[in-house]
Amino acid sequence: MRYTQLTKRMIIPVVVTLLAFTVGEKPAQAAAMPNDPYFSKQLHLTQIKAVEAWGIVNSNTAIKIAVLDSGVDSSHPDLKDNLLPTINLVQEESASDLNGHGTNVIGILGAKGNNGLGVTGVLWNAKILPIKILDKKGLSSSDRLAAGIRRAVNEGAKVVLMSASAIYYSKALEDAIDFAEDRGVVVVAATGNEGSRVNYPAAFPTVIAVGAVTNSNTIHSRSNFGPEINLVAPGVNVYTTTRGGGYDSMKGTSAAAPQVAGAAALILARNPNMKPLEVRQLLYHSATKLNGVRWDRRTGYGLLNIQKAVMSRLPDDINEPNNTQRTAAAFPMESQIHGTLSDKDKSDWFYTDIPYEGTLELKAEVSVDTQAPLAASVYQDGKPQDTYYLGNKATATIAVKPGKVHIHFQRSAVSSTLRYTITNRFAIAPDRYEPNNSIDQVRPLPPGNNIEIKGNFHTAQDVDWFSYFVRDPGKLYLRVDTDTLRLDPEIKVRKERDKTSGGISLNSSSPTDPLKSLEMNVTPGRYLFQIQNSYPAAVSGEYFFQLNYMPERKDPNEPNDTYRLATKLGDNSLITGTIPSEADNDWFTFSVPKETYVTIRAPYVPPQVKIMMSIYDSRDMKYAIRAEKVFGQDNSIVFEKKLAAGTYYIKLTSTTPFRYDAYRFTLTRQEMYGGFRDIHGHWARNDIGRLTQRGVITVPNTYSFRPDANMTRAEFADMLLRSMKAKKLPIGRVGLNTYKDLDKKHWAYESLLQASQLGIMSGFNGKIEPDRPVNRAEMALMIARAKKINVSRSSSPSYRDVPQSHWAVAAIETLSHYGWLHGYQDGTFKPDRPVKRGEMVTVLAKSFQL
């Protein structure tokens, strides 16, 4: 089907399933297979056991079935013989189906069956009265839908099908449903396709509310659910008629509802005097239970079963067995039950799940004309509360809390059989902030910058007033959400005593998205919030109002708009501030007494903001030495450079002003030593500086030596060969490369090959592994080889973790004897520990006397 967007106070097409029933036990009949060529595509008819039912009854031309929808293609060959003339309530359009939804729905209900053409409906032959209440966009109003129901009843319809629904409550619609019930009309409606609470009119107690299931009898993801749901029927790949004489598949609750309406008509064909209540009861009783329980809030009483409906006897009480609290039957909110009490059945138990604190109203109809023949004892959380005595048309109002409420029905002062029908209605209790219905009763919101309150509209005229005091200029973020689509909160915001503005309204044009949000700039003072439902109705549901106040950030560095007012930065400083206007310039200054490497990082820049950072040398303020556009929050490096001793300035500007968030930059200074920025203060700095001067170590453009990083084989080979060159030791020429992991473009290609050819470094299975770390044992052995030292084991090991059997023990012992290597204070050498770069420099300096 085509899903039509629902707008406020509008009607959308939904899936409605109609159920059929019969009274009395009937013998099994052979299945009646129609000769319609597309019947094989209509899998839903097998799912609801329509084929088996057709052996008993397949048509009903004795009654009118009204379909309130977008009209119908009255010339469709598979429909026209079952149609009455269309009644058009959409004055601005013709009676034709300009949307197509009505033609789809009517085909499922009553396409001519067994006519050798197209598809078949649940009813093979019928008198269907199309009443057009949806326009070409699939939209209508609650008032038009109510008028359609009354017109259908006045035209003599006995079944009314509505594949249209409204999210919001309407008094006119409720009155029309009561009008139909009073005149003996069965009403079937779709629950809706928002995946939320059941829509109206399906939510009214006397309407058969139909949801949709898949071909595997799982609930359709978009099918509405809740305490009002009664039945489900197939709502996926339902093959039916389309405008222009064609056929196609339909989905949703709109496809499910006509199946139930057709079933109701078949029941009335068998039992023309049956009342709507009895039709409903038989449909619920005969449904196939899907979840192992008699009723649940997803599938109601179960899947439509037409075969059982037309073959089963309607029992006196479909809720039996429910004689004990443990076997209590469901009595969902906003629903109707029917039962019988007698000498053989003296006790009926029901339960209702209550979501909020409020009142549960029970309205009784009883068959015995005495003052109060029915006793209703109420239990909350398993504990007895009160007993209410009900006569015909009597009402009991019960205060309830969230949780499970049990109701125990018994006869009171009567001995004859008592039949009763109870309709319940729930009303939510006033929220904790009542009374606050006017500006004179305004409730201050609790203090704080982040506030959330929960409220409701317990009456049709309920308006909630709140206030909040703003201390400093800033921004308010307002957000309202609801736990049901039936609520449509509207918020009006204004500053107290502000006569220059009518305030700001927060509302939404989409009822399928209850979340609404607003942000607004505020100044010191008291702000008023008026919250009300956008349509006048009490709703059993809650709204959640969130207020977040963000004061303007006060820049602690202002005034710093010129370089002469620049904020001085200390060592390793955090640079933070705001740029509230394009004209704002933030200046900072720092000094370096010696040659220093300076790094500026950006841990945080406000989202959607770009900051221009310019660095100036005080010796030439006309031109920036670097200018960078900065954005993002990844702590990236914005600026890094070796600077000479002097004073420098940082200028920050932005074309996207921001005042509620602050940028954060960090400035780090590293004093240069020996050409490097990261060895000042390191224990090996002197050796590193000296070997740099001798050409053993080269300075990269990053000015970083990384003295505590692990030494790789490539780095070791390069440094070792440079040490040998510095001592004018022969190293020979580069020979043939036999290593499969050494490319000629590798930066240490020659050093690795020379180290290998000199017998200093060995490969591994044809690989030289240039990036593998060198450990301390390997370092000892390769330096001994490079120095061509005669190595020998000592009579007793010098280190407790280097036994005589260790492969490098001789080299370790010899180099330790010369004083080139040392162990640790605990008497170990740790031969497998990776060598650090600073450590390697010191060993080379000692061993080669550099």
Write out the catalytic residue numbers: 69, 101, 254
CB count in 10 Å sphere of residue 762: 12
Q: Residue 580: name the closest of 601, 559, 598 by CA.
A: 559
d(CA 190, CA 200): 9
Distance CA 431, CA 456 (A): 6
Cβ contact 210:16 at 8 Å:
yes
Structural element, H or E, at residue 364: strand 358-366
Q: Which of 16, 81, 17, 18 is nearest to 268 (CA)?
A: 18
What distances in angstroms separate CA 193 from CA 206, 211, 508, one per listed residue? 21, 9, 19
Residues in the chain: 850
Q: Could you count the other beta carbons within 10 Å of the beta carbon of residue 60?
A: 26
Instruction: Return d(Cα 146, Cα 85) in angstroms, integer.
Output: 20
**Amino acid, res. 181:** E
d(CA 262, CA 17): 8
Cα separation, 786 vs 849, in Å, equals 14
Region class of 528: left (phi > 0), else alpha (psi between -120 and 50), else beta: beta
Please give the full DSSP string across 371-436, using - where no structure is assigned: S--EEEEEEETTEEEEEEEE-TT-EEEEEE-SEEEEEEEEE-S--S-EEEEEEEEEEEPPPTT-S-
Give the burial class of 689: count Cβ atoms within 10 A of its Cβ; 0-12 exposed, 13-18 middle, 19 or more buried: middle
Pull the structure tokens for residue 66: 């009204």
Q: At 166, is the secondary structure helix, strand, or coil?
A: strand
| CA triple 369-371-375, angle to 5 deg | 100
User: What one-letter code names the amino acid at 332?
Assistant: P
How far apart are the C-alpha atoms of 230 and 303, rounded to whole Å? 9
Q: In sequence order, what DSSP letters do the residues of 168-219 get, joined into one string?
A: S--HHHHHHHHHHHHTT-EEEEE--SSSSBPPBTTTSTTEEEEEEE-TTSPB
Q: How far is CA 304 from CA 24, 123, 232, 775, in A?
A: 18, 15, 6, 77
Q: Which residues are within 8 A (CB) of 523 and not within 5 positions of it... i.e. 6 or more apart?
A: 470, 473, 495
Q: How many helices (H) and strands (E) does the chain have?
A: 14, 38
Nearest to 204 by CA among 157, 269, 149, 252: 149
3-state secondary structure of 264: helix
Beta carbons of 649 and 616 less than 8 angstroms apart: yes
Q: For the chain, how long is the longest CA-to-CA vector?
A: 125
Residue with tokens 């009209």: 71
